[in-house]
């Protein structure tokens, strides 16, 4: 009897094993793999769930979260289904990504442990529920028991060599030439170089500052007339500095920097806002389009509340051979202007990079993802006014972009993706508000478009387009999806297979907004909040953890919810950080 049971048990085991192997190798069933939560930032957590199978792409993962110790589960956006892929020969080298579900949880508190419940379901089999834990990073700050050491230009280098973890070097006003930080702090005990700005004279001024290879160091309130170098830096913070240089804060070469915090700085150069400098190079004998404001590669970096102006690219990541782990990079609440090429260039983003709540004015391209490497790359509640070319750049067959709740007002094409010869894939457009119109045509090197409400020549069946408010000023309403033209909102619905977009004009805004025609010279940022009663009010799709704090009957389209004050863009007052205004959607 025992022998018979053993044989039966072995047979059942083999049968189950063969069934599972058959299931695992099937086209459509899902086999759950490893779950990771890479590179937590201050206010966001990423989740990656690698899978096998699901070739018909119909599995989904619902996400619920709570701070550890809390009872109530909150709902986040579902993870994004990312099929395995590669860039092929369109990049150097070729970049690949795994078959997975991936996504982010937003608006979290710093230095807090969260439980994340993931529910995977697939009609073809493979359901699973898992709970993982992850902790957000803390806001960099000096140690509570800091030793304050006063230094001046003659003593800084000698004192810095002997600095111990937790020390604050208080820099007297003066000219310090270039400086390389020689030692590291420790977790919870950073070494801080802080300008003593209590004196009514010029601040602590440097030719350049190198924090390369350093860990747990903070520079605070310095004036730098050259670059701040961050290559190989880890857990380093640059705060409240005034940087005036052709290259501002940079970690341009591999391995870049990791888990750094670049916040509340003013970074500026002198690229003029003229047609001749628009685009990615010097043309027509005009001013060379050069300079990078904040440019980094590497994972976990947070770039927030900075004012950046006058650069070819104001905030950017690296491309091709210079890319290193561009994962979980947060860029939020920055005030960006006069960027003749790109306002924010998050090219070669690998997964869970988040561009949120930025104000972009007088730039060639607004947001660039050329290409996205599978994604998801999130673009949420960014406001763009007076963009001379396109608000969105998805060249080189970009994959995995989500454009949610952005507002655009520009001459030429409104909701406009540049370079139509390149298709983009698995890109979503939801709840945006974009207005184009008169003043199209050539603006420097590139065209602003012909004045269409929507122009997405690279759109295809892998993409989703719905719940967007689109319109024009001073021109007839029309647009293109792929190579198909429409001249009514019903035509747009027919071409996208969706039915929830609305048509708007400049009357959608509460303030009297001047349409930016002509594009040059530069214009001031505008208050692009909605007028109560407009067609964009209460017309957006509910997106958990993105717009579920709406004030009316449903969320509003565009970057701003009616009844809420404008977010704070650019440097915050001293003493204000994510611990006091912890959400990236902070208000004035």
Summary mean pLDDT of the chain: 91
Tokens of 478: 């029309």
CATH of the domain at 118: 2.60.40.10
Domain annotation covers residue 230: no
Domain annotation covers residue 191: no
d(CA 327, CA 296): 12
Domain annotation covers residue 202: no
Total domains in the chain come to 2
Domain annotation covers residue 528: yes
Tokens of 314: 């104001």
Q: Say whether pLDDT at 253 is over 70.
A: yes
Domain annotation covers residue 522: yes
Phi, psi of 342 (to 5 degrees): -125, 140
Are the C-beta atoms of 131 and 157 separated by less than 8 Å? no
d(CA 148, CA 471): 57
The pLDDT value recorded for residue 296 is 98
Domain annotation covers residue 531: yes
Torsion of CA 227, 230, 232, 236, to 10 degrees: 160
The domain boundary residue, chosen from 135, 162, 194: 135
With residue 434 as reference, give the H or E element that holds it: strand 433-437
**274-296 exposure pattern, b = at least 16 Cβ within 10 A, e = fewer:** bbbbbbeeebeebeebbbbbbbb
DSSP state of 293: E
pLDDT digits (tens, 9 = 90+) for 73-91: 999 999 999 999 999 988 9
The pLDDT value recorded for residue 41 is 98
Q: Say whether pLDDT at 7 is over 70.
A: no
- State the pLDDT confidence band at 206, using cuts at 50, 70 and 90: confident
Alpha-helical regions (H) of 362-421:
none
Placement of tokens 């940022």 in the chain: 525
d(CA 522, CA 533): 31
- State the pLDDT confidence band at 6, using cuts at 50, 70 and 90: very low
d(CA 569, CA 180): 31
Q: Is 192 helix (H, G, I), strand (E, B) or coil?
A: strand
The domain boundary residue, chosen from 111, 135, 159: 135
The whole-number average pLDDT for the span 228-237 is 98
Range of the domain at 562: 334-588
Least trusted range by pLDDT, from 173-182, 438-447, 504-513:
438-447
Output the pTM of the full model: 0.93
pLDDT digits (tens, 9 = 90+) for 108-148: 999 999 999 999 999 999 999 999 999 999 999 999 999 99
Domain annotation covers residue 352: yes
Are the C-beta atoms of 420 and 392 separated by less than 8 Å? no
Percent of the chain with pLDDT over 70: 91
- State the pLDDT confidence band at 465, using cuts at 50, 70 and 90: very high
Which range of 203-217, 376-390, 416-430 scores highest in mean pLDDT? It is 376-390
Domain annotation covers residue 131: yes
CA atoms within 13 A on the CB side of 391: 32
Q: Is 18 helix (H, G, I), strand (E, B) or coil?
A: helix
- State the pLDDT confidence band at 579, using cuts at 50, 70 and 90: confident
How far does CA 300 lie from the centroid of its chain?
12
d(CA 105, CA 505): 33
Are the C-beta atoms of 267 and 306 separated by less than 8 Å? yes
The pLDDT value recorded for residue 421 is 64
Are the C-beta atoms of 237 and 190 separated by less than 8 Å? yes
Residues forming a β-bridge with 193: 169, 219
Q: Say whether pLDDT at 284 is over 70.
A: no
pLDDT digits (tens, 9 = 90+) for 559-574: 999 999 999 999 999 9
The pLDDT value recorded for residue 310 is 96
The domain boundary residue, chosen from 135, 167, 185: 135
CA atoms within 13 A on the CB side of 15: 6
């Amino acid at each position: 009897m025992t022998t018979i049971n053993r044989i039966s048990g072995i047979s059942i085991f083999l049968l189950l094993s063969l069934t599972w192997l058959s299931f695992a190798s099937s086209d459509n069933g899902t086999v759950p793999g490893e779950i990771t939560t890479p590179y937590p930032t201050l206010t966001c957590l990423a989740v990656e769930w690698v899978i096998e199978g699901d070739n018909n792409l119909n599995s989904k993962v619902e996400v619920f979260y709570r701070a550890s110790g809390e009872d109530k589960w909150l709902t986040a956006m579902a993870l994004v289904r990312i099929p395995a892929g590669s860039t092929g020969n369109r990049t150097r080298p070729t970049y690949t990504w795994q078959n997975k579900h991936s996504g982010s949880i937003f608006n979290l508190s710093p230095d807090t442990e969260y439980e994340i419940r993931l529910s995977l379901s697939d009609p073809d089999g493979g359901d699973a529920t898992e709970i993982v834990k992850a902790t957000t990073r803390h806001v960099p700050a000096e140690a509570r028991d800091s030793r304050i050491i006063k230094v001046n230009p003659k003593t800084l280098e000698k004192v810095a060599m002997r600095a111990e973890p937790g020390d604050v070097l208080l820099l007297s006003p003066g000219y310090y030439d270039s400086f390389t930080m020689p030692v590291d702090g420790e977790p919870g005990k950073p070494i801080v170089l802080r300008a003593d700005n209590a004196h009514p004279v010029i601040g602590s001024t440097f030719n350049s500052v190198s924090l390369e290879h350093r860990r747990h160091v903070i520079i605070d309130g310095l004036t730098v007339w050259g670059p701040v170098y961050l290559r190989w830096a880890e857990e380093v913070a640059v705060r409240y500095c005034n940087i005036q240089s052709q290259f501002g804060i940079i970690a341009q070469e591999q391995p870049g920097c990791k888990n750094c915090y670049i916040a509340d700085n003013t970074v500026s150069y002198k690229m003029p806002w003229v047609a001749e400098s628009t685009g990615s190079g010097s043309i027509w004998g005009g001013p060379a389009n050069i300079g990078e404001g904040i440019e980094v590669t590497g994972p976990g970096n947070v770039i927030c509340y900075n004012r950046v102006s006058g650069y070819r690219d104001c905030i950017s990541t690296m491309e091709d051979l210079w890319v290193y782990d561009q994962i979980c990079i947060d860029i939020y609440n920055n005030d960006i202007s006069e960027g003749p090429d790109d306002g924010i260039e998050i090219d070669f983003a690998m997964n869970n990079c988040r561009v949120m709540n930025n104000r972009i004015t007088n730039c060639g391209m607004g947001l660039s993802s050329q290409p996205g490497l599978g994604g998801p790359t999130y673009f949420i509640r960014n406001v763009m006014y007076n963009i001379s070319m396109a608000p969105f750049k998805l060249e080189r067959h970009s994959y995995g972009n989500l454009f949610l709740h952005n507002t655009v007002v520009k001459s030429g094409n409104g909701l406009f993706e540049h370079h139509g010869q390149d298709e983009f894939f698995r890109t979503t457009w939801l709840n945006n508000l974009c207005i184009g119109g008169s003043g199209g045509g050539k603006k420097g090197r590139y065209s602003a478009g012909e004045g269409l409400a929507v122009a997405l020549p690279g759109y295809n069946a892998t993409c989703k387009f719905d719940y967007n408010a689109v319109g024009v000023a001073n021109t007839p309403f029309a647009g293109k999806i792929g190579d198909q033209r429409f001249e009514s909102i019903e035509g747009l619905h027919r071409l996208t297979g969706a039915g929830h977009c609305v048509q708007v004009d400049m009357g959608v805004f509460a303030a009297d907004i001047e349409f930016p025609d002509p594009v040059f010279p530069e214009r001031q940022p505008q208050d692009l909040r909605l007028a109560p009663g407009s067609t964009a009010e209460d017309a957006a799709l509910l997106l958990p953890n993105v717009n579920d704090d709406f004030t009316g009957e449903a969320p509003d389209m565009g970057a701003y919810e009616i009844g809420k004050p404008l977010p704070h863009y650019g440097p915050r007052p001293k003493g204000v950080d994510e611990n006091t205004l912890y959400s990236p959607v902070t208000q004035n």
